[in-house]
Structures are given as C-alpha cells and as structure tokens.
Amino acid sequence: MRSILLYANEDAWTLQRLEAALRIATTCDSHVHCLQLTSADEYVFADSFGGVYPMLDLLRDVRAQEEAFQQQIEARLSREGARWTWINEARVPSGAPLKRLNLIDLSIVSLVNEPETSGSTPAPARLAMQSDTPILAILPHGRPFDTRGDVMVAWNGSPEAARALRAAVPLIRFASSVTIVEVIEHRGQRSAIDAAEYLGYHDIKAEVREHLIDQEAVADALRRAAIETAASYIVMGAYGKSRLRERVLGGVTASLTKDSPCSLLMSH
C-alpha cells in the first residue's frame, strides 16, 4: 500500500489515525496524503432577507488554528522520516474526500459514530459504501492497530469479502498470524478453503475457523471470534441494506462499525 490518505482534521481521534498511518508508512514504504477539510459553510451568516455574509474574522482564526495543527503533524511526520503531501480543501466533509480516493490504496478514518462536523471524519461504513477504495477505520480506544499483529478475515464467500481480502494482501502479508473466520448456519454450507489457498499464492499462511451461529447474530459471532483471536484488525466486506440478505450481510457492517473490538479494514 504505497499511497494512503489520512484524514488530518484536528479532533479527539487524530493521534490514533496518525499512529496507524505512520505504522503503515513504515511497514509498506507508503506516501501519506494528509487531507484537512475546512467547511466554509459554517462561517457564513444569512439574514432573514436572503443576504449571505462570510464571517471573515472567524474564518481567519480557524485557518490559523488549522495551520498551527498542520505544523505539529508535519513535524511528527518529519521526525518519523515519512513522505507526505498536505492537502487542504474548503469543502463539505461528507463529499470532498471521495474524489481524492481514486488513486489511493487505503483511506484511514476513525471508527466513531458521533455526528459529523467540520472537524470529524466521514462515517466509515458510509464512506466504504461510496468508494471502491478500501477504508481502514481505526478504533480510538482498546486494542491498538498493529501492522504486525494478528489479523482476522470475516469470510462469507461474497464478492465484497473477496474484494476486501484482495485489497488487504499488501498489508496482511506483514501480520503475525491470519485467521479466516467463516460464520455459517449449517456445517458444510460454505468453505473458506479457497480464501486460504488464495492467500497461499501470496505466501501468506492462514488458519480457517468455522463459527456456527445458531441463535447468535453474525456480528456477535464475529466480535467473539475477534476477541478469541486477539485480532489487531478485521478484514471484511461492506454491505448495504439494499441487499436481499441484509439480515445476514448488511446488518453486520452497521453493527460492527458501531461496536467492534478492534479496527476494521473494509471494502465495498
């Protein structure tokens, strides 16, 4: 993964995202594109007669704070010997990043579910659904992201899961261990052997585990498996609610982005 996009707005989770970006950059020799978003719409006053007036003084203060924060992040990147590009865009946060993802191998956001503001990152599940670029959503608390830690692959044989696995290969080749977890309703229903063989072509050894769900929800089974395997992050497909099998697939994306024991690497 030689080109990664880091959402560099100042918020409560910036340092965790930065740490993850530096780990990947060191491991994969990546170039870090730092994207800082300024929502100018928040600094415009509209009167009752339809007049629109920019609050220039406030906007200048905000930009001064952003520039100071930029200097802090760039100083850290420089100390770590990273290669980076700084990008500032005065756009709406929910839409501006998408055009930047076309030639990016991985986009790093935070695994949080608070309302979006000009200083927060796009919701990871929605961003994963809107882009073909893999999304690494970093868990702010709990088990830290580690490029050389243990990795769990959530497998169901779908095109989305296969796409996520292929996209993750450049990163998971550095993992200490890889476990492919297949959640099934009946033994023999599906097999993850093909996924393990595919990783073998890349000289990656993987263990295959089957988890019977019975009355247990799929997301709960995956959470339990991630805890049991001490996963640093989960590789998984991202699904939308429009799919016919939303109960088994679509709900998992929403559930894990709301409550995951570790970071998520998702691809739609």
Residue 190's pLDDT is what?
53
Under 8 Å between Cβ of 208 and 193: yes
For residue 117, the model assigns a pLDDT of: 45
Which residues pair with residue 44 across a beta bridge? 54
CA distance 6 to 22: 10
| Residue whose tokens read 């998408």 | 98
Amino acid at 144: P
What is the band of 25 on the pLDDT scale with cuts at 50, 70, 90? very high
Counting Cα atoms < 13 Å in the Cβ hemisphere of 92 gives: 3
Does the reported pTM lie above 0.85?
Answer: no
Closest alpha carbon to 11 in 100, 130, 93, 101: 93
**Whether the predicted pLDDT of 72 surpasses 80:** yes
Dist. CA 191–CA 135, nearest whole Å = 26
Give the mean model confidence (pLDDT) for residues 113-138: 64
pLDDT tens-place string over residues 179-196: 999 987 655 545 789 999
> For the chain, how are helix, strand and coil distributed in percent, rounded to 5?
35, 25, 40
pLDDT score recorded for residue 184: 73
